[in-house]
């Protein structure tokens, strides 16, 4: 089925991607299949909150953009701060990030700072640094399998 979907959507600049980790839980679960817009960032860069796909050392990664070039990012006792202001993150369980600290660090121009929603089990920009825009290959537009309504 997957090759048929790839062939069908390939002409629309959409590609299938399978989630291979728990780093984006509860938003995306391991085994979820996504459709990714390969041309989403041809005219404009990713924005805060976008779920992006990029090549990492272990293969294709999916993470959330939390800061863009020029921003300052920090995590203070589990609370994400961008440019000195706390960011509301409904997909992140505050009980799982209590006691976490990072930064502050400035995000260089031409890059994005990405985090997994499951912060305790995510390798992300805290470890490998900001992701160059040239490495971002697309934006997640749809979880199509297992079923979109799954928690």
Active centre residues (catalytic)? 23, 63
- Cα gap 103→75, rounded to integer Å: 7
- Provide the β-strand partners of residue 60: 55
- Provide CB contacts within 8 A for 26, sequence distance 6+: 91, 93, 117, 118, 151
């Amino acid at each position: 089925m997957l090759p048929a979907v790839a062939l069908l959507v390939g002409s629309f600049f959409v590609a299938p991607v399978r989630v291979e980790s728990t780093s984006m839980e509860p938003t995306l679960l391991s085994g979820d299949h996504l459709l990714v817009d390969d041309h989403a960032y041809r005219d404009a860069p990713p924005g805060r909150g976008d779920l992006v796909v990029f090549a990492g050392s272990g293969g294709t990664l999916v993470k959330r953009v939390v800061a863009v070039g020029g921003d300052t990012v920090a995590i203070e006792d589990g609370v994400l701060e961008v440019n000195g202001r706390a960011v509301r993150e409904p997909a992140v369980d505050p009980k799982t990030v209590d006691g976490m600290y990072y930064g502050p660090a400035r995000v260089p121009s031409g890059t994005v700072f990405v985090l997994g929603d499951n912060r305790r089990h995510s390798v992300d920009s805290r470890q490998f640094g900001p992701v160059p825009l040239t490495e971002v290959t697309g934006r997640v537009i749809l979880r199509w399998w297992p079923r979109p309504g799954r928690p």
